[in-house]
A and B are shown apart, each in its own frame.
Chain A
Amino acid sequence: MTKLTIPKVVFSWDKGVVLFLVLSIFIGSYASEYFATASNLSFVIASIAEIAIIAIAMAYLIISGEIDLSVASIMALTSASIGYAFQEGVPFEIAVVLGLLVGLLAGLFNGVLVTIFGLPSLAVTIATLALFRGLCWVILENKPVNQLPREWIDLGNKNIPGTFFPWATILVVLFAGIAWFVLHHTKLGRWVFAIGTNPVASRFSGIPVNRVKLGLFVFTGFMSAVAGVIYTLRFASASPDGGAGYELSVIAAVLFGGVAIAGGVGTMWGVLAAVLSLGVIKSGLQLAGFSANALLVVSGGLLLISVILPRVTEFVRIQRSKASTIKRTQQKEKERVQK
């Protein structure tokens, strides 16, 4: 077989996002002298911690070809459960464990509906978005719980001593590290990509597709619960309407990070770079005097670019390969004529 000499497109979207992150940090620090201050960086990191934690799990889920729109509601349900349990006299530590358990169960509920009953995850999680949020209102009614233990709230609002990293950074780094390793360096990770690329072929090649998907929904529920704990501590309050609309921010970040909505494609560091860039841009825009509206337009624009650009590079690649094929046949034709 003759070797094709089509130049490969070296650019990949996730590398672009990392570059974009570096660029936005530079522009941010150029735009405002306050950007690179410890307090601002600490604020930026704290403001994206919850989204980062959920995005880690969401990346797995979208790569496997599913989606979960109920994550923000699970986050709020965890927060509400913690608040309710604590209000009823349960020690805070145990309330947190209960909250995590609630998130796990919520994820299991989604997973069972999708994998065992075979319902479409988009529709199911729109339903559980309402259901879980509804349960928040049921258990807390319209009375947020604000009297949480001081030392726990400090954990949610103070930095690791001597640094500008909030305590939540540890969780983000830890989970991101594990998630990165599992996704890119283990059999399970390869399975997730395989399932997202072709679920039927995956099943025939012996991958327990439904069990993996069920596991991913439970994982997403758990991570949303972890985000719920962080959220509760950061705002020192458990309220039924907390984090509304976060699901779209998470999904936007994951897709911007180079995960294909059709499944089968994505990297963990692309996603993390995307979450960070969105946090950096938000802060940069605010410091440069832009309104929050600019951020909405920018996130939407980035999201669009993240799907359009791969399409364009694909188009260019196809045109190039077409052109080179034509060139080769022309050359062959010429040689034939010369003979």
Chain B
Amino acid sequence: MSILRRATRFRELPVLLGLVVVYLGTGFLNPIFFSVSILNDIFFGVAIVATLAIAQTFVIVMRHIDLSVGSVVGLTSFLIGDLSSRGFSLLAVLFAALLVGATVGAVNGFLVGYLGLPSLVVTLATLYIVRGIFNEVGKGQTIVESMVPKELNWLGLNRLFGISYLFVIVVVLMLIAGVLMQRTRAARDLYAIGSNPSAAGLVGIPVKLRVLAAFTATGAISGLAGAVMLARFNSSSTQSGLGLELLVVAACVVGGVSIAGGTGSVFGAVTGAVLLQTILMAIGALGIPQFWQLAVNGSLIIAAIGLDRYLSTRLRSTNIMGASS
């Protein structure tokens, strides 16, 4: 198989190319864009969405969706600040965030996996319920900088070899999740479930258990992402994470994690998130009014879905005509 052919099978290629084109193109028009500080802004700004996109990949490859992540990440960012200001240690607080996220995820996973309910409805419901509980717990309070654990504050302000620690966390998480998704049997099962749910059951994959586990993992990571959010903003209120779920799904879709299930990788999801963030920065650097940002994002997602569709049909045809290649 020629290198070129292998490259076209690499599903993250279009989004990676898009990222390069946007970055170089903007830098060509405005050289300031190549500065280290812009790069840092991109890495720093994308950390939350990228973390959540990694988590979301687990459920999207199963042809499911988790809309509750925005509420979960908001709640845990608040909890981390609130609990640590009451004197709990960082480890205990992070564990609490993990537990809250995993619990919500497990509830989602149980309802979707074991009761066979549609994930869109279930997670829409938990989005509401968690947000409602969050508002009640939060009582309109705000977590201010002095309540943020010092370690998180430090993570938000410092860099490792010039790259924000928040993005370092994203990269580490991506590597771990990426290797797991490629190499472990349980994670490969998720792809099988997404490709054909009933066939997955017939070949002996414990579908219910896998769905439960994947949703729990998504919830747990989203819960921990609360720490990233708190480190990023140094504050949290009951508005935190509102509407974030759609941005996260958008990042996944742009990154080639198909909403139809069965394909995509955490690397793609992170690249998608970085591309969206880069475009956001490019709009500013090119002097385009900020008001264009959302419209450009929307068009980009449409382009990504269209491209994905085009590529996947073409890939399938080369598979069928495999003999000729």
User: Which residues from chain A sit less than 8 Å from chain B, CB to CB?
Assistant: 67, 69, 113, 117-120, 122-124, 126-135, 137-138, 141-142, 244-245, 248, 251-252, 255, 261-262, 291-301, 303-304, 306-308, 311
Contacts and interface: CB of A to CB of B under 8 A. Distances in A.
A120 B305 contact: yes
B121 interface: yes
Among B118, B121, B124, chain A packs the most CB atoms within 10 A around the CB of: B121
B252 to A, nearest CB: 10
Nearest to B238: A293
A141 B121 CA distance: 34
Chain A at the B interface: SS class: helix
Interface stretch (B14-22, B132-140, B161-169, B194-202): B132-140
Given A127-B301, A261-B118, A133 B128 contact: no
B278 interface: no
A127 B250 contact: yes
A192 B309 CA distance: 26
B243 A123 contact: no
Contacts of A296: 128-129, 131-132, 135
Given A129-B298, A299-B128, A303-B121, A122 B292 contact: no
Interface stretch (B35-43, B93-101, B109-117, B314-322): B109-117
Contact of B126 (A117, A126, A248, A300): A300
Contacts of A292: 135
Interface in B232-266: 242-243, 246, 249-250, 253, 259-260
Contacts of B302: 113, 119, 124, 127-128, 131
Among A118, A122, A128, A131, chain B packs the most CB atoms within 10 A around the CB of: A131
Interface of B: 65, 111, 115-118, 120-122, 124-129, 131-133, 135-136, 242-243, 246, 249-250, 253, 259-260, 289, 291-299, 301-302, 305-306, 309
B292 A300 contact: no
Contacts of B260: 120
A138 B121 contact: no
A141 B291 CA distance: 6
A134 B259 contact: no
B246 to A, nearest CB: 5
24 contacts: A117-B306, A117-B309, A119-B302, A124-B305, A126-B301, A127-B301, A128-B302, A130-B250, A130-B294, A130-B297, A131-B294, A131-B302, A133-B294, A134-B291, A137-B291, A137-B295, A245-B242, A295-B132, A296-B135, A297-B132, A300-B124, A300-B127, A304-B129, A311-B115
A113 to B, nearest CB: 7
Given A130-B295, A297-B132, 17 more contacts: A113-B302, A119-B305, A126-B246, A126-B301, A127-B299, A128-B298, A130-B301, A131-B295, A131-B301, A131-B302, A244-B243, A245-B242, A294-B132, A296-B132, A297-B133, A303-B121, A304-B121
Among B260, B293, B295, chain A packs the most CB atoms within 10 A around the CB of: B295
B225 to A, nearest CB: 20
Contacts of A298: 132
Nearest to B132: A296
Contact of B298 (A134, A295, A303, A306): A134
